[in-house]
Structure 1
Amino acid sequence: MCLLTVFTPAYNRADLLLVAYKALQRQTSKDFRWLIIDDGSTDNTGELVAEWIRQEKEFSISYYYKENGGLHTAYNAAIERLETELAVCVDSDDYLPDDAVERITSFWKKNGSDEFAGIAGLDYDTNGNKIGDPFPDQKSINLVDLAIGKYHIHTGDIKLVVRSDLYQSVAPMGSFEGEKFFNPNYLHMEISKNYDFLVLNECLCVVNYQPQGMSSNMFRQYYDSPQSYAELRKQHLSFKGIGLKYKFKEYVHYVSSCCLAKKGCGLKNKNWPLFICACPFGVLLSIVIAIKNK
């Protein structure tokens, strides 16, 4: 059995998937399988992939179609089907450098163990530029510490290669009716409460942002999926060792999400003075978000 699953959630991206496929064909190591999760596409994605499955001889391609539910439900479907030791998500508008699989598998065979959650590598843009700063020069890194600013770097996008058993221990992500924007990074943060990721300061993925991509319009996502974002903020507020500035920002966003969802703020163990100070700003943010989405 191969070591790595490359999984790709796709929704009406038949025009982009060919780039990802060609990059996989160029891999210097074929120690991987490709799992495509079709999140309810209405274009010719299924027919295109069926032809690739019929023709491809060097690596395995699997295809699973599901009703449209958003990126987090595609993650759930992929994680349920993982059979390899490691997994990495490559979005339908991104692709792997030609030696990415070889870098990942050789690095893990040399350094990996049950002590670590996987590998944290770098994303580059299509012009060959790093997105954000490199990681500190150390063996491993914790994503929670990274999120709360312990390392004092701007990371931008990173590429995570994750142990499949740990993915499966924290999945599936929950869903809220009518909401499709629940950031799958929730899973990575849950894993990071107990595990660090090995640092690999090399390019593992080339990122090509699309205007309709998940990262392109945060205000729209806040407006359309307020309960999902409230849950994400609750997770962030549960992190240990967070400072007042970070906690205040998360309280503001949490209150904003609750207002947009028209739900009460049922948060346990609040820092009441800080929470009360954050409430007016959270209400104001919810008004701004609502106005921008009219």
Structure 2
Amino acid sequence: MPFFTIFTSTYNRAYILPQLYHSLCMQTCKDFEWLIIDDGSKDNTYSLVEEWINKCKKFSIRYYAKENAGKPRAINDGVKKAKGKYFFMVDSDDRLKPDAIEKMRRWCQEIDEEEQIIGVGAVRGYPDDEYIKGVAPHVNQAGWVDATNLERQKYNLDADMCEAYKIEVFKRFPMAEWKGEKFAPEQIALNEIALAGYKVRWHSEIIYICEYLNDGLTKGSKKLEKNNPMGYAMMYNHMLKYPNLSLKRKLYIAAQHIALSIYGHNPGYIWKSNQLKYTVLMLPIGVGLAIRRKRQLKEV
């Protein structure tokens, strides 16, 4: 069994996927498999990966092609197929520093027996080695902090991070899916993990290099919301479960849940609210927001 399953979901990324492959070849620790779920690519991804499978002797590469159904379903498929002890997601347009796996393996071994810690996190940085947020996380003298996904802002961890999760625990928290849509924010599952009491040990070192491309999910957030309103309605409804929210924040979230449910042609989902009293209170405002959102997203 490999220590890590490095998981990559890809869609028409043959032009940039080689940089991730070469970064994996350069790893100082090879105790991993690379699991690729091809989410309906129309480019030459298959032939590219087939070539790597045939020539790579340093680590195992497994490739599965499927019809385009979105990243959350690809992640859920990957978790089911993973052979590693820890599940480490690396996006198709990113790459790892040469000692990333070596460090993550050491850090994971340190928390392996701690039941309330589900995994290890580290920092994603820009190619010039700058922190995405512009400042380093708040950590202890050993260079880490234990915190749930809901506590990230308190420790300057609210920029993009990378994590490796204990697969046997992580598989109990699948990514959210809505039939007929292809995306729902990963935070739904990750914050459900937090609500269950699990923490991540976050390290302050940059081990993962990323660039935000024009065809990436991050830069297409408004389009994602337009095409996947119920995925976002699920996100807002889930946020109503978070502790320590102000009344103003709860009311705002309830209104967004209502608006997106209506925009997504699923008004019945409004009544599945995790805080029904706030939902009822904000119903008139939520209806008004749905009308405004229809007008706004028409331009996207």
After TM superposition, is the score higher than 0.5?
yes
Shift of 1:61: 0.7
Q: List aligned pairs for 1:1-294, cutoff 5 A.
A: 1-112=1-112, 113-132=114-133, 133-138=135-140, 139-146=145-152, 151=154, 153=156, 155-171=158-174, 173-177=176-180, 179-194=181-196, 195-264=198-267, 265-266=270-271, 267-272=273-278, 275-276=282-283, 278-279=285-286, 282-283=289-290, 285-293=292-300
1:253/1:285 CA distance change after superposition, 3 Å: farther
Aligned-residue sequence identity (percent) comes to 25
| Whole-Å separation in 2 of the counterparts to 1:101 and 1:284 | 48
CA contact (8 A) 2:238 2:274 kept: no
1:285/1:126 CA distance change after superposition, 3 Å: farther
| Whole-Å separation in 1 of the counterparts to 2:248 and 2:165 | 30
| Whole-Å separation in 2 of the counterparts to 1:6 and 1:277 | 46
CA contact (8 A) 1:167 1:187 kept: no
| CA displacement, residues 129-180 of structure 1 (integer Å, 9 cap, x when unaligned) | 111243332530111233xx5x174722111211111221122633321x11
CA contact (8 A) 2:9 2:39 kept: yes
Give the counterpart letter for 2:79 in structure 1. I
| Whole-Å separation in 1 of the counterparts to 2:124 and 2:175 | 26
1:87/1:229 CA distance change after superposition, 3 Å: same
Shift of 1:197: 0.5
Q: What 5-or-longer segments of structure 2 have no aligned partner? A: none
1:159/1:268 CA distance change after superposition, 3 Å: closer
1:291/1:124 CA distance change after superposition, 3 Å: same
Shift of 1:230: 0.7
CA contact (8 A) 1:2 1:32 kept: yes
CA contact (8 A) 1:71 1:183 kept: no
1:33/1:279 CA distance change after superposition, 3 Å: same
Shift of 1:81: 0.7
1:163/1:256 CA distance change after superposition, 3 Å: same
CA contact (8 A) 1:35 1:78 kept: yes
1:94/1:164 CA distance change after superposition, 3 Å: same
SS of alignment partner, residue 292 of structure 1: coil
| CA displacement, residues 12-56 of structure 1 (integer Å, 9 cap, x when unaligned) | 111111000000011111111110110011111111111101101
CA contact (8 A) 1:259 1:286 kept: no
Q: What 5-or-longer segments of structure 1 have no aligned partner? A: none
| Whole-Å separation in 2 of the counterparts to 1:263 and 1:226 | 10
Give the counterpart letter for 1:174 in structure 2. E
Q: Which moved more, 1:100-109 or 1:248-257?
A: 248-257
| CA displacement, residues 168-204 of structure 1 (integer Å, 9 cap, x when unaligned) | 1122633321x11212332212212220101211113
CA contact (8 A) 2:262 2:287 kept: no
SS of alignment partner, residue 47 of structure 2: helix
1:201/1:284 CA distance change after superposition, 3 Å: farther
Give the counterpart letter for 2:253 in structure 1. E
RMSD after superposition:
2.0
| CA displacement, residues 230-273 of structure 1 (integer Å, 9 cap, x when unaligned) | 11111111122222243233223212211211222222433438
Give the counterpart letter for 2:64 in structure 1. Y
SS of alignment partner, residue 151 of structure 2: helix
| CA displacement, residues 53-89 of structure 1 (integer Å, 9 cap, x when unaligned) | 1101111111111110011111011111112111111
Shift of 1:276: 4.7
| Whole-Å separation in 2 of the counterparts to 1:268 and 1:13 | 38
| Whole-Å separation in 2 of the counterparts to 1:184 and 1:216 | 16
| Whole-Å separation in 2 of the counterparts to 1:159 and 1:288 | 36
Shift of 1:281: 6.3
TM-score by length of 2: 0.89
| Whole-Å separation in 1 of the counterparts to 2:21 and 2:244 | 42
